[in-house]
Homo-oligomer: A and B are copies of this chain.
Amino acid sequence: MSEKPVLYYFNARGKMETIRWLLTVAEVDFDEVFLTSRDQYLKLLENGDLLFQQVPMVEIDGMKLVQTRAILNYIAEKYNLHGKDLKDRAMIDMYSEGVKDLNEMIIMLIMSPDPKAKLEEIEKKAKERYLPVFEKALTGPVFLVGGKLSCADVYLLECTLMLEEKFAGILADFPNLKSFQGRMLQNDAIKEFVKPGSQRKPQPDDVYVKTVLEIFNMKT
């Protein structure tokens, strides 16, 4: 029986991608089961596999974990990426939650009725609210918190890469962030993950939206 975690989600980024990133940086191999039909989803429901009827779901260490943050917290704690004490933990959580708010905006873009306006809002918030905070936090330090790699560094890396996909050169005025990105990309596991053919998923498209709506029986 495989001891690798198994990820249940669409063959797409969505809310699962951050989990894929974290497992990758923790150097934990994982398998994936992609949701492709409503019947398959209904079967998972019948089996009682999805606590709140939702995905992401990750089978790990005998548990069927749902809720993105519960899954991320478990992985971060287990693999020592959640800070050395309560105060570092608080800083990590603050930074992580800020990054997640920004990530969420990007993730939801594909579902937006007015993507152009949303894009402008994301760029504004990124440049005025979020990036300056991390630029400042990385003045001098190599990692965001406590001189040690943490999940916050992973979430920030993921976020900066996603931002650059939408806004090439957005890091032009944020040299610490650019250097941080450069350092993180030298990590072997991360290097492999950003190459074609890895388990990293591409940007979402209309096929993805269609699949989601169909599987959850939602109106367009």
Give me the interface of A with B, judged by CB distance under 8 Å: 51-53, 61, 63, 65-70, 73-74, 77-78, 86-87, 89-90, 93-94, 96-98, 101, 129-130, 133
Contacts and interface: CB of A to CB of B under 8 A. Distances in A.
Contact of A90 (B70, B93, B101, B130): B70
Contacts of A97: 67-70
Interface centre among A61, A69, A78 (most CB of B within 10 A): A69
Report the copy number of this chain in the oligomer.
Answer: 2
A136 to B, nearest CB: 10
Given A52-B129, A67-B98, A98-B51, A86 B78 contact: yes
Given A67-B97, A97-B67, A74 B90 contact: yes
A166 B107 CA distance: 32
Given A73-B89, A74-B86, A86-B74, A67 B53 contact: no
Nearest to A98: B52
B133 A51 contact: yes
Interface of chain A, main secondary structure = helix
A65 B52 contact: no
Given A70-B97, A78-B86, 6 more contacts: A51-B98, A52-B98, A67-B98, A70-B90, A70-B93, A74-B90
A27 to B, nearest CB: 19
A61 B69 CA distance: 25
9 contacts: A52-B133, A67-B93, A68-B97, A69-B97, A70-B90, A70-B93, A70-B96, A74-B89, A74-B93
A129 B98 contact: no
B87 A61 contact: yes
A24 B86 CA distance: 20
A97 B130 CA distance: 24
Contacts of A86: 74, 77-78
Nearest to A66: B94
A93 B69 contact: yes
A94 B51 contact: yes
Nearest to A97: B67
A94 B70 contact: yes
